[in-house]
Structure 1
Amino acid sequence: MNTTENPVYLRCKDHTVSGKTFSLIRDEKHQMLYTHPAPKADELPEYYKSEDYISHTDARRSWFEKIYHLVKSYALRQKLKYINAADPGKGALLDIGAGTGDFLAVAKKDGWNVNGTEPNTSARKRAGEKGILLFEKPDASFVEDKRSAYDIITMWHVLEHVPDLERQLEELKKLLRKNGTLFIAVPNFRSYDAEYYKEYWAAYDVPRHLWHFSSDAVRSLFSEKGMEVEQIIPMKFDAYYVSLLSEKYKNGKMNIFRAFCTGWLSNRKAARSKEYSSLIYVIKHQNN
């Protein structure tokens, strides 16, 4: 998926850091998009260096950030509910791309045996202040020792960021116990809010988001690795959050009323189509 021979779906601007324009290229085989040109490995960290990149900070400077953290606290409780339903025994949990460690802190308090990874240094430091030790990445020991036996692995809006998608999927299969459960949350470019905002849709977030998924794509990619999507859970708040940011990118300011209407309409349409702004995929090994 590193060629531009496939057709261009959209061209989008990086509104957060560089102001550069990137292309979204169709991958017809998997029914997904990918960002081109993808930043080189040594360039990618530069695109995360912004005080506005909220998942790497605990900032509450504006009403938008305060609302974000209020909704985030609700979302954390929901995520905990989902993993407890999958494994009431509260076994070993790995969160990949753990940010500032809030989800792992909630899970640890609830009795889970937690581990996590986060490539961003400042985010790892903030997590450490909350009593959550994060690794930069899963090293060889994650596969070779007991930590290869994870009952639950979570990636909350992280899979779209990974430079090597093929390698990440292989790694997930190795790290997950045969009867374990994988939770993957990603934006859905087939949602109504994505269609409405087009190149201004905030969840494209180029070039930090390297991959842009549909539900068909997630099913196809994991099926190729011997894993199966068993359930899809909507993330209804994302339509409002993404619409607010998209309004800012499109019109220069956050029009709360218009964003709310767009988010509401997106969720209403998704009640029939199932194409919500973001989706959580519950995945297991095939033939458990």
Structure 2
Amino acid sequence: MKCLICHSDKISIIGTVETSGHYEVARCKACHFVFTLPRPTPEELIAHYSADYFTNSSREAGYVDYYLVGEMNMKAMWSSFKDYAKLKDEDKKTILDVGCASGAFLAEAEHDGWKTKGIELSEDAVGRAKSAYRLDVMQGDIFDERLEAGAFDVVTMWHVLEHTIDPMEVLQRAHDLLTPTGLLFIELPNWNSLGRLIKGTKWKQLVPPAHLNFFVRESMRYALQHSGFEVIRCSTQHIVGFDVLKSRSPKPIVPLLSGFEAAVVTTGCGGYLRALARKKMEGSSLE
């Protein structure tokens, strides 16, 4: 058994988890990538994204009701993405959202003047994207031949890479789809998050076969750099659920909670891991 990211054979089993089956949790000692075993087949993975995936409240699904809850947050997500990528009005070009779900994020991008395209495994979600937002969204995955190489200025993956069978192949395909100066944006659960460190294998994000791959800052940088990218920034984001806690806390306590959260994020233990990268240009380095 070798690491899917760096191909090291220094792999250790660090735990087990029971969801729809019995899974082992493996960790690479070289690059710190974490993944679950056994790996699903492509057919098993597609079958997992049934019509109720985005509306099922089970632990395995990982969502309460994406259509009702997630879509309400998309305006904030679009704004957060633009801030993280430091995009300006003149940067409005073409964007591909991989695993676009119902397309709400792309709808915000289109409203902001971008030319958009989405691809999504779930037939139900694709139907909603077309009916609710009239978006150009296809059912399929990032390897779909209908996606043209070099056609996109930006590729986004919101909580997608953790679902994939071979994350390095996905990153390399994203590289192929981008223009020579294109940007890749990724957000996914952070293995070093405070929640995971506290809850261990009871962490709500550890739900194979939905979530198969887990990164920390070091393994994410390694994966991007070995897929033809330069890493512009890679950081962790807030403590999941902390906004609710702060909103319900007495005002004198809020600054203390905010300071604690800032310290957690700075040390790489925020709930989500984000990365922004661009195609590697000859003779350049951002490291």
TM (normalized to structure 2)? 0.78
For residues 235 and 281 of structure 1, do their structure 2 counterparts lie closer, same or farther at Cα, with a shift above 3 Å needed? same
Residue equivalent to 2:35: 34
2:131 equivalent to 1:137? no
Residue equivalent to 1:274: 268
Structure 2's unaligned 5+ residue stretches are 4-8
Matches of 2:211 and 2:190 in 1, distance apart?
Answer: 12
For residues 272 and 235 of structure 1, do their structure 2 counterparts lie closer, same or farther at Cα, with a shift above 3 Å needed? closer
2:285 equivalent to 1:284? no
Matches of 2:44 and 2:2 in 1, distance apart?
Answer: 17
Matches of 2:45 and 2:179 in 1, distance apart?
Answer: 31
Task: Give 2:122's aligned amino acid.
Answer: N
What is the CA-CA distance between 1:166 and the residue it aligns to? Answer: 2.6
Contact in 2 for aligned 1:266/1:276 (Cα 8 Å): no
Aligned pairs for 1:8-23 within 5 A: 8-14=13-19, 18=20, 20-23=21-24
Q: Which moved more, 1:180-189 or 1:47-56?
A: 47-56
Residue equivalent to 2:197: 195
C-alpha RMSD over aligned residues: 3.1
Residue equivalent to 2:44: 43
Task: Give 1:48's aligned amino acid.
Answer: Y
Residue equivalent to 2:105: 103
TM-superposition CA deviations, 1:214-271 (whole Å, max 9, x none) = 11111111111221211135432x6218x99xxxxxxxxxxx99xxx9x979834424
For residues 160 and 87 of structure 1, do their structure 2 counterparts lie closer, same or farther at Cα, with a shift above 3 Å needed? farther
For residues 267 and 102 of structure 1, do their structure 2 counterparts lie closer, same or farther at Cα, with a shift above 3 Å needed? same
What is the CA-CA distance between 1:158 and the residue it aligns to? Answer: 0.3
2:134 equivalent to 1:149? no
TM-superposition CA deviations, 1:75-123 (whole Å, max 9, x none) = 2332244456267330011111101101000001110010111011101
> How many corresponding residue pairs?
259
Contact in 2 for aligned 1:23/1:35 (Cα 8 Å): yes
Contact in 1 for aligned 2:78/2:105 (Cα 8 Å): yes
TM-superposition CA deviations, 1:129-162 (whole Å, max 9, x none) = 1211312234334235xxx231111000101111
Q: From the two aligned structures, give the one with the greater helix fraction.
A: 1
Q: Which moved more, 1:48-57 or 1:134-143?
A: 48-57
Matches of 1:71 and 1:109 in 2, distance apart?
Answer: 15
Matches of 1:86 and 1:281 in 2, distance apart?
Answer: 18
For residues 161 and 48 of structure 1, do their structure 2 counterparts lie closer, same or farther at Cα, with a shift above 3 Å needed? same
Matches of 2:197 and 2:272 in 1, distance apart?
Answer: 13
Matches of 1:71 and 1:103 in 2, distance apart?
Answer: 9
Task: Give 2:232's aligned amino acid.
Answer: E
Residue equivalent to 2:6: none
For residues 208 and 57 of structure 1, do their structure 2 counterparts lie closer, same or farther at Cα, with a shift above 3 Å needed? same
Matches of 1:188 and 1:274 in 2, distance apart?
Answer: 9
Q: Which moved more, 1:77-86 or 1:149-158?
A: 77-86
Matches of 2:47 and 2:237 in 1, distance apart?
Answer: 29
Task: Give 1:21's aligned amino acid.
Answer: H
Contact in 2 for aligned 1:56/1:122 (Cα 8 Å): no
Aligned pairs for 1:26-105 within 5 A: 26-49=27-50, 50=53, 51-52=56-57, 53=61, 58-60=66-68, 65=69, 69-83=71-85, 85=87, 88-105=90-107
Give the SS at the match of 2:210. Answer: coil
Contact in 2 for aligned 1:231/1:283 (Cα 8 Å): yes
For residues 80 and 126 of structure 1, do their structure 2 counterparts lie closer, same or farther at Cα, with a shift above 3 Å needed? farther
Task: Give 1:176's aligned amino acid.
Answer: L
TM (normalized to structure 1)? 0.78
For residues 185 and 39 of structure 1, do their structure 2 counterparts lie closer, same or farther at Cα, with a shift above 3 Å needed? same
For residues 26 and 230 of structure 1, do their structure 2 counterparts lie closer, same or farther at Cα, with a shift above 3 Å needed? same
